[in-house]
Each structure stands twice: as structure tokens, then as C-alpha cells.
Amino acid sequence: MLFRAFILVALVLLPQDKLVDRIVAVVNGEPILLSEVRQSLPSRLAAEQLPQLMQTNLEAMVNQALILQEVRRLKIFYVDAVQVERELELLAGRFETAEQFDKALVDNGLTERSLRSMIRRRLLIDAFIEYRFRRHTEIEESQLTQFYEGEWSRLFAQSFPSSPLPAFVTVRAELERLLRERRINEELDAWLEQARLGSSIIIMF
């Protein structure tokens, strides 16, 4: 295990231009490359963090592959170039200058082309989640009240011990958003678990 972790750290720490790419997983016949997993890592990490983060990122990319395969199977989702460019502009707009944006791409081993591809995949995944889960998720008023009076109130009191509890009506929208996202995540996790059971997934780390 320690040797495996050492090899993993060594591979991740290699400069992008010296990285010998290889397949690290195959999902229903589709490969996932080491460079793809590496691109999703933060640019600055302590060496001891890398093995766990690489493993976590690989698992996330396997899940992503399963969703995108379902997207292609359904053939009802479409992302056009205008949507991608809009998202790219929003990302670039978070930086003060174009030079800072370009440097961030280089630091993360990305090009605008690869970033556009990542944006397109994310938009397709968002569309799938909206279609498959979000639009069907309803939260009843009794669930909101129970959440407010129980878990949410306890967490608020722990975080802000000297502040009075906000009235239900003032935080209702936030309560609904939190419960809706929790329900969607639970349903998505259940879907992914079933998708994994019916798939061929080979990990080659």
C-alpha cells in the first residue's frame, strides 16, 4: 500500500509535459486517463494529500462517466457552443485580467479547449440531474417544519450560540433548498449505486 501511494504521488508530482499518460480506469469500455484525473486536482497540494484526493477524484470521474453514458443513451440532452462560451466567460470573469486566467489554466494543466470540454460535460450532467431528479423532487411543508424545529435549529444554535433563532418564514426558502438538494443527492447516489452494479468498471491504479 505504501509503495502504491509513493508511485501515485510521484506520478502526480511530475510536470505536465513530462507525464507519461496511461489508463487508470475503464468504465463500460471507456478509458479514464491519469492526466484527466490529475487535471481535476488543485494546483497546490501537500504530497501526503495526493493519494486520497486522486482516489476520490477517480471515483468522481467514474460516476461522471456513468452519467454521461446514460446521457448518450437517452439522446435528449444537448449543449450548444453558446452555452459553453457563456460559462467560459463567467469563469474568466472571476479573474481580474486575462493573463491571470491564462496562468490559472496553465497551473492546472488545462487549455481553453480542454476547459470547454469540461464545461460541456458539466452542463450535460446538470441537465441530466435536472431531468431525472430535480424536477420531480417536492418537499412537503411538514418536512420543512420538522427540519426547522430539529436539525436546522440545533446546527444554528451551535454555529451562532449568542444569536436568536430566525423566524421560520425568513429562512423557509433556504430550508427548502437544503432539503431539496439533500434529497437529490440521495437519489443520485442510489442511481449511481445501481448503475455501478450493472456496469463493467475496471480500476487500474
Three-state DSSP at 15 gives: coil
State whether 166 and 188 are in the same domain. yes
State whether 159 and 194 are in the same domain. yes
Q: How far apart are CA 105 and CA 115, in angstroms?
A: 8
> Does 93 reside within a domain?
yes
Distances (CA, A) of 30 to 11, 25, 199, 204: 22, 8, 11, 13
State whether 63 and 97 are in the same domain. no
Per-residue pLDDT tens digits for 116-136: 999 999 999 999 999 999 888
Does the pLDDT of residue 85 top 80, yes or no? yes
Per-residue pLDDT tens digits for 135-194: 888 999 999 999 999 999 999 999 999 999 999 999 999 999 999 999 999 999 999 999
| Cell 460516476, residue located | 63
Per-residue pLDDT tens digits for 5-21: 333 333 333 344 445 58
Q: What is the pLDDT of residue 81?
A: 95
Of the three residues 107, 132, 157, the one that is the final residue of a domain is 132
Average pLDDT over residues 47-54: 76
State whether 2 and 61 are in the same domain. yes
Q: Which bin fits 137, alpha (ψ -120 to 50), beta or left (φ > 0)?
A: beta
Does the pLDDT of residue 3 top 60, yes or no? no
State whether 41 and 88 are in the same domain. no
Q: How far apart are CA 84 and CA 147, in angstroms?
A: 37
Identity of the residue numbered 81: A
Q: How many domains does the chain have?
A: 3
Three cell numbers, residue 42: 488543485
Q: What is the pLDDT of residue 108?
A: 77
Of the three residues 84, 104, 132, the one that is the final residue of a domain is 132
Residue span of the structural domain in which 153 resides: 139-200
> Does 205 reside within a domain?
no
State whether 154 and 177 are in the same domain. yes
> Does 186 reside within a domain?
yes
Does the pLDDT of residue 98 top 70, yes or no? yes
Q: How far apart are CA 199 and CA 42, in angstroms?
A: 29
State whether 98 and 118 are in the same domain. yes
Read off the pLDDT band of 31 (50, 70, 90).
very high
> Does 92 reside within a domain?
yes
pTM: 0.81
Identity of the residue numbered 52: Q
Q: How far apart are CA 40 and CA 176, in angstroms?
A: 31
Q: What is the pLDDT of residue 17?
A: 46
State whether 150 and 95 are in the same domain. no
State whether 62 and 97 are in the same domain. no
Q: How far apart are CA 69 and CA 35, in angstroms?
A: 20
Three cell numbers, residue 101: 486566467
Average pLDDT over residues 40-67: 81
Does the pLDDT of residue 2 top 90, yes or no? no
Q: What is the pLDDT of residue 10?
A: 33
> Does 95 reside within a domain?
yes
CB atoms within 10 A of CB 11: 20
> Does 34 reside within a domain?
yes
Phi, psi at residue 46, to the nearest 5°?
-70, 145
Local structure of residue 167 (DSSP, 8 states)? P
State whether 169 and 111 are in the same domain. no
Of the three residues 27, 53, 73, the one that is the final residue of a domain is 73
State whether 127 and 144 are in the same domain. no
Q: Which residues, including other chains, have CB under 8 Å from residue 54's CB and lie 6 or more apart? A: 8, 12, 37, 38, 41, 205
